[in-house]
Amino acid sequence: MATYVDLGTPGPNTAGPDQTGRNTGNLTNQLSSSFIGITIAVFECYHMIVSSVPIGAGAVIMRNGRQYSYTQPFSGSEWDPAQPMGLFAGDEIDFLWNVPSATTPLPIVTAFFRYDASLPQNKSG
């Protein structure tokens, strides 16, 4: 049985001009491993909130450079915590928006993380 420990959020991440090379000229929220700042071996993103989204904007959600999901909110939305995203230390999450980098408002992504303390790889000795 899972024994979850809540890691909270590293805070809101405001979109800016793409730095990933996968969305040139458009807005991107880049939740890099250094932004996430979690060094636990195996953890989950169990909830995300997207706010301040320009009308008509949509985003491809990437996990380590591979498409994981998609969102087309009308100014904002939430990610259902019933389907957490499994992650490993060093992983990255990106929201590649379909709007030019000069677009306002700038989308904001806030992600929440947790880990299962009962997993052997998450136990320190």
Amino acid at 50: V
Map out the domains of the chain with their CATH numbers. Answer: 4-112 (2.60.120)
Kindly state the tokens that stand for 117: 């303390």
**1-11 pLDDT, tens digit each:** 789 999 999 99
**49-97 pLDDT, tens digit each:** 999 999 999 999 999 999 999 988 876 777 777 889 999 999 999 999 9
- Is the pTM above the cut of 0.85? yes
Mean pLDDT for 14-21 is 97
